[in-house]
Structure 1
Amino acid sequence: MKKAFVVLAASLTMSGAFAQSAAPAAAASAASSADVRAAQHQQRVEERITWLHTQLKITPEQEPQWKTFADVMRSNGQTMAGLYKQRMEGESTRNALDDMKQYAQISQAHADDMQKLVTAFEPLYTSLSPEQKKLADQTFRHGSEHGPSGKPMKPKHKGKAKPSAEAASDAEAASTPAAQ
């Protein structure tokens, strides 16, 4: 009996040591993963900026307005990447209330960033030619049907929700040769 007690005590002591060493490793892994995702997010922002520049056919005269717009996109991307990194790093310790607060913080930051983007886009949009405005209208409508690679993007809706008939007809009209 004494021997069983010693074995049990030794097992508990060692399992505690393993648990303590596993926790920092898991935290380091989550931080590393968050850093990688943040870098990937910034890369997608840069790809989107390059794609939009080409898609909208920005002229040399429009470059100052474009630079302001692109800088806001970069700043917004950094803000969101930082917030999502915080979210990933604290995932194992966050309770339901913390989760809701953090989601509200992300939603508010997104709304604030969108307002900054609108403010930066307005002077650019007003400087665009009628042809460029038409391209911008098509590009920004419903998040654009095509991504930076030119490939069709996945729909933004998830689950059982389906796009309205009006949205479907808009998408169909945008994909006709006359609309392009």
Structure 2
Amino acid sequence: MLTIAGSTLASAQQQTPAERPHHVQLTADDIAAFTDARLAALKTALKLTPAQEKNWPAVEQALRDNGKARIARRDARRAAGPETDPIARLSSHADGLTARADALRRLAEAEKPLYQSLDDAQKRRFVVAMRFAEGRHHMAEQRMHREGAPDRG
């Protein structure tokens, strides 16, 4: 048993970062499929009434827009390469924070009518389901930021 564990560890240490499963690059189709799945899960978890359904399209669109903006920021960071000037990096980071703050305001505005129409059970599910709907890739971006690759907008 120890031999198997040791050989697995040695094998994992020999892999380059690109070969490791957690470094898989998602295609646009992959991202679209996961976005659709997360939105469907959120809507299913909420069990919306017909009256509440009228507020859903704005929430869905805001979540999709935020996802597209996040992908655009990621692609722009990759295309720009590492920023070596600390002042430019700080300014770029501030621009990114402003853009994300604006996107979060639009999301809050879209979610407010829906959330206000939910009963207590739906509100509990909303909190949990929104974490899922936002996607795990967002946590990866936060980890990259902590490790020194700031989100520059």
Query: RMSD of the TM alignment (CA)?
Result: 2.7
Identity, in percent, stands at: 25
Question: 1:95: which partner in 2?
Answer: 84
Aligned length: 111
1:7-46 counterparts in 2 under 5 A? Answer: 37=26, 39=28, 40-46=30-36
1:6-155 counterparts in 2 under 5 A? Answer: 37=26, 39=28, 40-91=30-81, 94-96=83-85, 97-140=87-130, 143=131, 147=132
Work out the CA distance in 2 between the residues paired with 1:120 and 1:58. 16
CA 1:115/1:133 → structure 2, altered by over 3 Å: closer, same or farther? same
User: 1:55 is aligned with what amino acid?
Assistant: A
Check whether the contact 1:80–1:106 (CA below 8 A) recurs between aligned residues: no
Structure 1, unpaired ranges of 5+: 1-35, 159-180
Q: CA deviation at 1:127?
A: 1.6
Q: CA deviation at 1:65?
A: 0.5
CA 1:47/1:105 → structure 2, altered by over 3 Å: closer, same or farther? farther
User: 1:105 is aligned with what amino acid?
Assistant: D
Check whether the contact 1:46–1:74 (CA below 8 A) recurs between aligned residues: no
CA 1:48/1:105 → structure 2, altered by over 3 Å: closer, same or farther? farther
Check whether the contact 2:41–2:129 (CA below 8 A) recurs between aligned residues: no
Q: CA deviation at 1:105?
A: 2.2
Work out the CA distance in 1 between the residues paired with 2:118 and 2:101. 25
Question: 2:17: which partner in 1?
Answer: none
Check whether the contact 1:87–1:102 (CA below 8 A) recurs between aligned residues: no
Q: CA deviation at 1:37?
A: 4.7
Work out the CA distance in 1 between the residues paired with 2:57 and 2:114. 9
Which string of whole-angstrom CA distances, capped at 9 and with x for unpartnered residues, describes residues 105-137 of structure 1? 222222111111111111001122332123224
